[in-house]
Chains A and B, each alone.
Chain A
Amino acid sequence: MQTVIDLKCSLPANPISLSPTALIWQDVLAQAITGELLAAMNYTSLSEICDDPEEVADALEHAAGEKGHAAAFANEGRKIGVDASNNVHAKHWKRLREAFLRCITERDFIGCLIVQEIMLESFAVASYARVGKVAPGTLGKTFAAIAAEEEDHIGHAMEILRKERARDEQSFDARLYRLHLEVMTTLAEMLARDCRTGHCEVCHGSCVKPALPDVSLSAAELRGASLHQYLKTLDKLGLPGEVTLTWVAQLPV
């Protein structure tokens, strides 16, 4: 798969011999790098609709942080001898970006936070944490450390979102549901047991999902952990559990 954004992570001149699982990690890293670069693009876009200079600085700082995560993942790929490319134009990621950009067009700061911090970060935190538990050496440590950093981001956004919900619960929940239908449906399709709509355009060869058990992971586990994190985040925001359960139950599989 062609690299869309260059992270200057070309392989060493004398290639090291690949471990049997290196190509699996290559695809896992490619997805993670793509997600981080998309997050960086989202925060950069967000900075353009912020009025408060402090918010602009915050958004740009987040964007730089996400780029740093992408570079760290790319570096981990280089350590195991693979070029983990990225593709922010891949079909699922493109749809996620478009959903975010619609919020930007509407200058919907809260909508942007919901998409990035509640939905995309829930997916990132949960899946990175699972990968962090099973990936070897510094690869695992990097995933675990970035999962922890992303969780801090969510904490910051939660304060803003709780205040917003307290102002008008009904309209906040309606807006969240509308974004859920768009964004979580895409994430659910990405994490489905099989890629039924064809190649995801990020994996280098065939779909990595069937090979994940070779590194003690599974698509079902990553999906379950992500939905768990999402439901817990919505609980913390104060949305009724029976309502969010229905939302999640209705997602595609």
Chain B
Amino acid sequence: MALANARAIMPSITVHPAVPNADGKMLAQLAQWCGRYSPWTSTGKENDPELSLEGAGGAGIWLDATGCAHLFGGEDAMLADMVGRLEKLGFTARAAMTDTLGSAWAVSRFSSNDAWKIVPPGETRAALAPLAIAALRLPPATVLALHEVGLRYIGDLIDMPRGPLAARFEKEVRLRLDAALGQTAEPLSPILPTTPLIARLTFAEPIGHRDDIAAATSKLLDKLCITMEKLGQGARRLVLSVYRPDGSTARITIGTARANREPRHLLRLFAEHLDEIDPEFGIDEMTLFAAIAEPMTANQSNLQRGAAAQSTDSYNAVIDRLTNRLGTHNVRRTHFRKSHIPERAAGFIPVGKAKLVQTDQRDADTPRPLRLLRPPEQVEAVAESTNGPPVLFRWRRILHHVTSYEGPERIAPEWWPSDAESPRDYYRVENEVGQRFWLYRNGETSWFLHGVFG
């Protein structure tokens, strides 16, 4: 109804302008806060981009609580805890736990007035039937059209034959209905949820000291590694989240090159980043979640093996520490490619992407420099003849006289047509002092320095 009408009915209402951006941000933050209950939370923007904060029902927060309820002592206790805490934060919340996304959305908004409601598995149909059609997340125009035909409740739709419904109304009605009933899949998280590998620690009094945070992380790691060992899994990515009493959160993520469940090693990786957590007024809960886990056989934590295997473990461990502090793209291994263009033929690529087996490396009968300039630097050079070697060149403002040269080695561009490339004639030259350079001529008269020799 319009504001004027509302004021006419009740003159003393307070009016605040709506700020959809701030509301959206707050919702996203709350979704993060709900991470304490389940690692998979969403505001619904990905599934339902048209869902706005206004409109019937509006946006809210979805959680995939598969396997999480037991940590809180049951589904009932979990919802009670969630609604209670949200109310302490100043929100009025209504929650519903059901089998499917669609029915959870419907039940929480259109069902009875309880603060939370749990629909046991198998009773979704019965729970949905008495609800209004708008509970299916349909656009208002479609809802109106359905009303005109006399369909007001979901129960009316469920038993209708498909043909006429699809003919009169868009596919959407059927899609939403099937999703709500669980007949088509509508996953919240891209990964197929099994029991999440998550460990939780709550504190009676908020902690803030760095040592306490480190000790708590250590405890969480011990707990989680035991769980992973029982399941035969190792972590590749771990997310440590801290929750503060005012509803804000912070998180640190670490990654490993190989699946790992060694608490000491993982603690060292976290230790690098613990200073990034600002405890502010204190932290009252911490969770550790293995976002990516892989099967890991027991062999890998066996200490009694040959020296070679042990050194691979220590190599992987030090690579983990280097990548976590310096970045994955800054720790690299040698890589050869089948190309005769020098800057493509060899280089270094990040450890994670390097193949363990090297492709054949050219043991060059042609000289290659020790250091390669990327990109090559243009130099001014003078040659005796158009196709001859350089006799003089200036690089970075120093003039060099060429006393001897080897070449030319002609390197043609790759077979695919490219405008900028022409064949390069490479020369290995030595100057009067004994410094050796790798120069090439591109085209008629431009010379470049591509590398230096030892």
Do the two chains bind?
no
